[in-house]
Structure 1
Amino acid sequence: MRTLKACLFDLDGVIVDTARYHFLAWKQLAEQLGIDFTEEHNELLKGVSRMRSLDIILEIGGKTLSEEEKTALANKKNEVYLEYILKMDESEILPGVKSFITELKNNHIRVALGSASKNARLILKRLNIENLFDAVIDGNKVSEAKPDPEVFLNGAAELQVEPEACVVFEDAVAGIEAAQNAGMFCVGIGDITILKKANLVIPGFADFNLEKLQACMQEDSYLHVK
C-alpha cells in the first residue's frame, strides 16, 4: 500500500485549459508555413516540448527547416501564445482544482507543478495560485521531455519526498508514461479510452477529493472512474 506524501500536477489540461491557446498559436504559425494544422494534429503535441511540437508540425507538412529557422519560429509561436495567456485570470482555473489542492495543503500533503511549459510560473501568477505550490518544475528546469521522468523526479527531489509516495495528475499519454517511469501513482484527467494506462482516470476534479484518492491508492491497482 502506498503512502501519500505529495501530489504533482501537470499544467495544461489539468489545472487550466491553455491547450486551446497553444492550438491557436500553432495553427497561426502553420498557416504561415502553408501547413493545414487541425485539432486532431494538435493532440500529438500534448505533453511535449515546444521544439518537438514544431518538429511534429513540420513533419505533418513535409517541410524541412534549419535549426536557426526553427528557433525563430518557436519563439514567434511563443509570442503569440503569450498574448493569449497575459489575458488569463482566476476564472480559467478548471472546476474543482483549487479546492482540491487547498484540501491537500490543509492535510499537510506537499504540492508541486511538473510541466514542460516554460511559461508555467507566469500562468500560475495570472491565475493567482502560485502560492499553493511548494515547488515548480517547468521547461526551464528540465532538459528531457516527457515520457522521460525527469520533470517528476526533480519535483519529488525538490519536495524531499520519495517517488513512490507521490501522485501525478496528467492529461496526456506522454505524461502518464513519465509518471510511471518515475515509479509514481498516476491519475489521468480526461478520456478513459486514451488514458487507459493510468492507475486511475477521472473526468475532472469537480467531484473528486482526497478521500477518494486515498481509497484508490490503497487498492494499488488499475482503477478507473468514468
Structure 2
Amino acid sequence: MTASSENCVVSKTSLAGLAPLQAVLFDIDGTLCDSDPLHYYAFREMLQEIGFNGGTPITEEFFIENFAGKHSNDAALAIFPGDMERGLKFLDDKEAMFCRLAAEQLRPLNGLDKVRKWIEDRGLKLAAVTNAPRPNAELMIKILGLSDFFDVVIIGGECEHAKPHPDPYLKALEALKASKDHTFVFEDSVSGIKAGVDAGMPVVGITTRNPEHLLMEAKPAFLIKDYDDPKLWVALEQLDKAGGRRS
C-alpha cells in the first residue's frame, strides 16, 4: 500500500480528513444492489449444465473465491484453464442470463436513496466503477433508477488493467477532475477495496456477501452493513462538520 493510502486510513472510522469533499465513487455489483445472488444462481445453473466440478453444483464460497468482483479473463480461466476463448463465450452467455434475472429481481441496497440524497444535496461528482461488462453495468444502473445520478461509468475491461489494479479508480478521478485527497469509495469485494486503496483513497467496505475478515485484509477505512448503517452516518456527519458540505 502506498504512503498516501496509509494516510487515508489512519482514522479507521473517519472521513473528515477528506474535507472539502469533491467526489464519491461507487462499485455496482454488491454495492449499489445485492446482485451477487443472481450472479451465483446463473453461474451455478450454467456450470452444472456443462458438467463443471463433475456436475456437482458450485457452493457460494466457491463463487465468492473465484468469480465475485473478478475480471472476466480471470473468471474465464477459472472455468476453462488454458482456453480463454471458450471461457469468455461461457461468460457472455452467463451475463445474458444474469440480465434476464436482473430485469425482474434486482433491488437497491438498503439506504441507497438516503445516501443518494446526501450526495445530491452537496453537489458532489459521481462515478460508477465496475468490472462488469458495460451493457450489464448500464442495465443495472437503469433498473435502479440511477441513470441521471452518475457523471461517468468506468468499466474495468476498458482500462489497461481492471480491478484489483487501481487503474479504473484512477481513470474515474481523471474523468471527474477530482482529487484522491477529497474523494472516497464504496466497495463490497476484496479486489474492489484493494483497487480503491491502491489508488490512494479511503474505501468504505460493504459487507453485502463477502466475509468481513476477508474484506478487512484489503484495508478498508471501515466496514458497514448497508447505507443505513449508523457508522456511515456518523462518519458523514463528521465530514460535514470538518467542512465537507460544499456551497
TM interval, shorter chain, is: 0.7 to 0.9
State the distance in 2 between where 1:133 and 1:210 align.
21
- CA RMSD between the two structures: 2.3
Secondary structure of the equivalent of 2:158?
Answer: coil
Shift of 1:210: 5.6
- 2:30 is aligned to 13
Secondary structure of the equivalent of 2:214?
Answer: coil
Shift of 1:185: 1.0
State the distance in 1 between where 2:60 and 2:212 align.
19
How many corresponding residue pairs? 212
Question: Structure 1 counterpart of 2:124, which letter?
Answer: I
Q: If each structure's helix is expressed as a fraction of its own residues, which one has the higher value?
A: 2
Aligned: 1:46 with 2:62: no
State the distance in 2 between where 1:110 and 1:184 align.
15
State the distance in 2 between where 1:122 and 1:180 align.
27
Q: Of the candidates 213, 232, 241, which is equivalent to residue 193 of structure 1? A: 213
Q: State the percentage of identical aligned residues.
A: 26
Q: Of the candidates 176, 183, 190, which is equivalent to residue 193 of structure 2? A: 176
Q: Normalising by structure 2, report the TM-score.
A: 0.78
| Relative contact order higher in (CA < 8 Å, ≥ 6 apart) | 2
Q: Do the aligned partners of residues 70 and 108 (structure 1) sit closer, same or farther apart at CA in structure 2, a change above 3 Å counting?
A: same
Could you list the structure 1 runs, at least 4 aligned residues long, displaced by more than 3 angstroms after superposition: 207-211, 216-219
Question: Structure 2 counterpart of 1:194, which letter?
Answer: L
Stretches of structure 2 lacking an aligned partner (at least 5 in a row): 1-16, 243-247
State the distance in 2 between where 1:54 and 1:41 align.
14
Q: Of the candidates 123, 135, 138, which is equivalent to residue 152 of structure 2? A: 135
State the distance in 1 between where 2:42 and 2:95 align.
8
Q: In the alignment, is the contact (CA less than 8 A) between 1:21 and 1:85 conserved in 2?
A: yes
Q: In the alignment, is the contact (CA less than 8 A) between 1:105 and 1:111 conserved in 2?
A: no
Shift of 1:86: 2.3
Q: Normalising by structure 1, report the TM-score.
A: 0.84
Shift of 1:100: 0.3
Question: Structure 1 counterpart of 2:215, which letter?
Answer: L
Q: What whole-Å deviation, never above 9, does each CA across 1:35-78 have from its counterpart, x for those lacking one?
A: 231100011222112231232244xxxxx453332232122112
Question: Which region of structure 1 is more displaced relative to structure 2, 49-58 or 103-112?
Answer: 49-58
Shift of 1:182: 0.2
State the distance in 2 between where 1:87 and 1:71 align.
25
